[in-house]
Amino acid sequence: MKSKSSTGMEQIEDALEKLRPAYHFFGHYGGPPQVRTDPNGVTLSVKLADLHWERGTFVLEKGSMGLLRWQNQEQHSFTVLDDPWLKEYNIHTWPHL
């Protein structure tokens, strides 16, 4: 067990190793979106782009939205959305999404 002085990231790593959830979603971390299998070999770690608008376009940044399909513990999937219909929504029309 790690000491109480461990960082939040170490605590997350410990939880992922111990609990081995199907998914770990995170953001507000900087850098590009990424989808990778955690070192525990089970968890799909997903870092989405921060939810903001691309500069000068008012269109959602690529990789800022995903779709989790969950039926049960064995039947589920996650996809980062990059569908053309997302570009129909912008800084002015997103509440209608």
Report the C-alpha gap between 80 and 86 in whole angstroms. 12
DSSP assignments along the chain, one per residue:
---TT--HHHHHHHHHHHH--SEEEE-SS-S--EEEE-TTSS-EEEEPPPS-BPTTT-BBPTTS-EEEEESSSSSEEEEE---GGGGG-BTTTGGG-
With vertex at residue 83, the alpha carbon angle to CA 68 and CA 28, rounded to the nearest 5 degrees, is: 60
Range of the domain at 87: 8-96
Tell me: pLDDT of 1 over 70: no
pLDDT score of 64: 84
91 is a domain residue: yes
* pLDDT category of residue 61 using cuts at 50, 70 and 90: confident
1 is a domain residue: no
22 is a domain residue: yes
Average pLDDT across the chain, whole number? 84
Global confidence as pTM = 0.75
Spatial contact of 91 and 53, defined as CB atoms under 8 Å apart: yes
pLDDT score of 3: 47
3 is a domain residue: no
pLDDT score of 18: 97
Spatial contact of 36 and 73, defined as CB atoms under 8 Å apart: no
- Tens of pLDDT, residue by residue over 72-87, are 999 999 999 888 888 7
> To which residue do tokens 């939205």 refer?
65
Q: Which of 1-5, 12-16, 69-73, 88-92 has the lowest mean pLDDT?
A: 1-5
How many separate domains does the chain show? 1
